[in-house]
Amino acid sequence: MAALEFALPKRGQPLGRVKRWPTNWALVVIDAALVRLIFPIGGVGLALLAEDRGWGLFGWLDWAGVVPWLLTFIILDFAVWLQHLASHKIPVFWRIHRMHHADSEVDVSTALRFHPIEILLSFIWKGAIIIALGGPAEAVLVFEVVLNGAALFNHANASLPLWLDRVLRLAIVTPDMHRVHHSIRRSETDSNYGFNLSVWDRLFGTYVAQPKLGHDGMELGLGPELTPKAHQLPFSLAIPFLKVERGDERPEN
């Protein structure tokens, strides 16, 4: 994805990778180390444990074959969409999640720029769903791979042909579709919550096709109080604890 956005960039990036990437990738390392330290078993490990113990809905129903496999994938995808929605609608979760949105430019590194607290909460949420379902571990593994790959894809600063974007977004979230979500305009940020399947936003009325000012004219980030310092690691980690009113972060003008 980094090679694609280098070869076919969608937007100019005045700040560039040199100033942004060290912080974004440092967060990746911190997040990965923290999750591995606190939850060494991982999502697939939880699925294997649930299968072995007969836990969860599918264990109780004793279902086998392709149906529990597909349902596990689809339900986990909806669970991630629902978690993302909650991170915008519930104030305490928004304070944590806004570190992801504070990035002044959106590219492949933004896909992995999450506060460690959010990463831990996300793992607990997905882990609870995995155990409650008791679905095939292979489905959980494929879902995790697809989810991470899709996030890298739809955050990439890559320019796709318009016809290809229109076709792809019928099923999956494209870079142009997700970029709207990173707009400074609140009405656009509160839309397009999907990371993989695009159906949920269409189904629940949170889909916005294009930004009002176009992809070249739209402003990304959270405004002057958070965005300018978002490439600094200590400041980024402190964002959840800063008192900035939500309405002032993303003005509509």
State pLDDT tens for residues 80-131: 999 999 999 999 999 999 999 999 999 999 999 999 999 999 999 999 999 9
Per the CB < 8 A criterion, the answer to whether 95 and 240 are in contact is yes
Task: Name the one residue in this structure whose structure tokens are 């995808």.
Answer: 77
Average pLDDT in the 202-229 region?
A: 94
Average pLDDT in the 144-161 region?
A: 96
Task: Name the one residue in this structure whose structure tokens are 């896909």.
Answer: 111
Assign 3-state DSSP to the chain and report helix, strand, coil percentages, each to 5: 65, 0, 30
Name the phi and psi angles at 183, rounded to 5.
Answer: -65, 150
pLDDT over 60 (residue 250):
no
Helix (H, G, I), strand (E, B) or coil at 183: strand
Rounded to 10°, the helix 116-133/91-101 angle is 120
pLDDT for the residue 39: 87
pLDDT for the residue 41: 85
pLDDT for the residue 251: 44
Average pLDDT in the 209-237 region?
A: 94
Contacts of 191 (CB under 8 A, 6+ apart): 180, 181, 201, 206, 207, 208
The answer, as to whether pTM is greater than 0.85, is yes
Contacts of 229 (CB under 8 A, 6+ apart): 235, 236
In degrees, rounded to 5, the angle at the alpha carbon of residue 123 between the alpha carbons of residues 200 and 83 is: 25
pLDDT over 80 (residue 247):
no
Average pLDDT in the 66-75 region?
A: 95
Alpha carbon distance 47, 39 (integer Å): 13
Residue 69: pLDDT band (50, 70, 90) is very high
Contacts of 195 (CB under 8 A, 6+ apart): 77, 80, 81, 84, 147, 150, 151, 154, 173, 178
Residue 246: pLDDT band (50, 70, 90) is low
pLDDT over 80 (residue 252):
no
